[in-house]
């Protein structure tokens, strides 16, 4: 009857699909070895805790802190770390120190509850740091006293160490740049000298991508992409006034990688954009006309002559500069004029006060015949973003390796080690971690971009950190 025919047809369809699936997915008919059988974890376990990776080496209590400036990786790194520890053993306690080292000194922490841990993946969709950041240098005692973080006569390192001991923390994950991670290494060394075993595993956060020996720091790729998106809108301001000079200032105190990568991503996007030169939307007007990074000398007069020709031809000029380009010269000018250069807790000049974009605008405006000059900074826009797909993959890789290292008692900063033959993902020893890694201006893609722009490849200059 009709019902039987329908059932037979459904069964035939099911068998056909099953055969197709079995043909496309290789199935082993071999019996697993005893060693392999020992690794199989049953889906139903008598134990209330399903330990997929954990064991006796798993830490009892883990702490996380983020410090320094923002980058598109902080919340995501926290989310992936929490996911990995929960997967390993949900009984591992996880806390976070609020506002970085400031919270550690003040004993302010939050616990990741079971509810939060279940939803930790949500953090990977957010920018910023869900636990807050601060710029605190534990070895800068006067600054810590001045800010009320410690009392007169107290050693911030000891205060922080005592807090970690009181909290029973055995693993500390620091997500930050070279200052953040080397401070954590000093803290671990201090505790070890005082018979307390703390494993510190850092993750390299900096959009500048300037940490030795890390190939690519977390969030840098996204920051370059977001800087390109930012300028895609800003460049349209060139149509608001004749002979417009637009200076796009990109973050990068000592390293020009972010500026170069932002320009490259912007140009790639422009190449895929449909323009209408017959009615004024010419790609030449929208293009990048100069890229200035700290690692290359800048001949102002020579560049001004080149850019004036572009201004005369297209009616506008677009310049990408690193915030660290020309800073030494600007500081010398400020100090010669009797102006004080404000510095942060780490002794770095506060670049908002130095204002390199404004300085370059003053150098070029009259020389290129600009009627109007605009300086736009993409830094905060770019660094506050949630990570893109490429960064998420890198962040997850590093988080998994960080948890593995922590459980094996291996400290360091996790990243692809440039000093290994195949860029091995590993915990790089703290004594090898340093900031100030310059951008390699000999990179083929960068030299090719300068050639596209028509900008001469100038002398390479050493960059002080």
Q: Residues with Cβ < 8 Å from 4, sequence gap 6 or more?
A: none
Q: Residues with Cβ < 8 Å from 461, sequence gap 6 or more?
A: 294, 295, 296, 297
Q: CA–CA separation, 260 vs 282, rounded Å? A: 23
Radius of gyration, CA atoms only, the chain: 27
User: What's the CA angle centered on 189, arms 182 and 425, to 5 degrees?
Assistant: 50
Q: CA–CA separation, 177 vs 181, rounded Å? A: 6
Q: Residues with Cβ < 8 Å from 145, sequence gap 6 or more?
A: 151, 152, 154
Mode of pairing for the β-strands spanning 372-377 and 244-250:
parallel
Q: CA–CA separation, 326 vs 349, rounded Å? A: 13
Q: Residues with Cβ < 8 Å from 338, sequence gap 6 or more?
A: none
Please report the beta strands in 160-296, taking only residues with DSSP state E, as ranges in sequence order. 171-176, 199-204, 244-250, 290-292
Mode of pairing for the β-strands spanning 171-176 and 199-204:
parallel
> Which is catalytic among the residues 178, 208, 210, 417?
208
Closest CA to 205 of 337, 49, 78, 29: 78
H-assigned helices in 235-282: 257-271
Q: CA–CA separation, 70 vs 133, rounded Å? A: 8
Helix axes 356-368, 327-336, angle to 10 degrees: 90
- Told to judge if 329 belongs to the known catalytic residues of this protein, a careful annotator would answer no
User: What amino acid positions are annotated as catalytic residues?
Assistant: 208
């Amino acid at each position: 009857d009709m019902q039987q025919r329908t059932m037979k047809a459904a069964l035939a369809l099911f068998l056909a699909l099953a055969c197709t699936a079995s043909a496309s997915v290789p199935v082993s008919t071999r019996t697993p070895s005893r060693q392999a059988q020992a690794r199989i974890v049953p889906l139903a376990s008598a134990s209330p805790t399903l330990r997929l990776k954990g064991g006796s080496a798993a830490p009892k209590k883990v702490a996380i802190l983020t410090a320094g400036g923002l980058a598109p990786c902080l919340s995501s790194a926290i989310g992936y770390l929490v996911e990995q520890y929960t997967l390993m053993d949900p009984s591992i306690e996880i806390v976070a120190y609020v506002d970085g080292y400031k919270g550690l000194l003040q004993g302010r922490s939050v616990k990741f509850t079971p509810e939060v841990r279940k939803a930790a993946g949500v953090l990977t969709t957010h920018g910023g740091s869900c636990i807050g950041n601060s710029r605190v240098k534990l070895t800068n005692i006067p600054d810590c006293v001045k800010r009320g973080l410690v009392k007169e006569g107290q050693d911030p390192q000891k205060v922080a160490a005592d807090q970690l001991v009181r909290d029973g923390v055995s693993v500390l994950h620091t997500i930050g740049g070279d200052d953040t991670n080397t401070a954590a290494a000093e803290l671990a060394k201090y505790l070890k000298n005082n018979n307390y075993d703390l494993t510190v595993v850092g993750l390299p956060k900096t959009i500048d991508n300037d940490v030795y020996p890390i190939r690519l720091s977390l969030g840098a790729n996204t920051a370059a992409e977001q800087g390109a998106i930012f300028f895609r809108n800003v460049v349209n301001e060139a149509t608001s006034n004749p002979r417009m000079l637009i200076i796009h200032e990109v973050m990068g105190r000592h390293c020009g990688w972010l500026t170069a990568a932002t320009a490259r991503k912007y140009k790639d996007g422009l190449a895929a954009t449909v323009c209408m030169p017959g009615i004024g939307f010419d790609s030449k007007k929208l293009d990048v006309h100069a890229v200035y990074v700290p690692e290359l000398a800048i001949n102002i007069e020579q560049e001004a002559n080149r850019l004036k020709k572009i201004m005369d031809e297209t009616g506008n000029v677009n310049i990408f500069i690193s915030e660290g380009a020309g800073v030494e010269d600007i500081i010398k000018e400020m100090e010669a004029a009797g102006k004080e250069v404000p510095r942060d807790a780490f002794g770095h000049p506060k670049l908002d006060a130095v204002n390199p974009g404004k300085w370059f605008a003053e150098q070029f405006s009259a020389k290129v015949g600009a009627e109007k000059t605009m300086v736009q900074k993409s830094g905060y826009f770019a660094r506050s973003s949630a990570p893109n797909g490429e960064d998420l993959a890198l962040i997850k890789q590093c988080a998994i390796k960080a948890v593995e290292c922590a459980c094996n008692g291996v400290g360091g900063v996790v990243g692809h080690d440039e000093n290994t033959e195949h860029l091995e993902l590993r915990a790089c020893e703290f004594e090898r971690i340093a900031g100030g890694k310059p951008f390699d201006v000999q990179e083929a893609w960068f030299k090719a971009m300068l050639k596209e722009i028509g900008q001469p490849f100038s002398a390479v200059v050493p960059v002080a950190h």
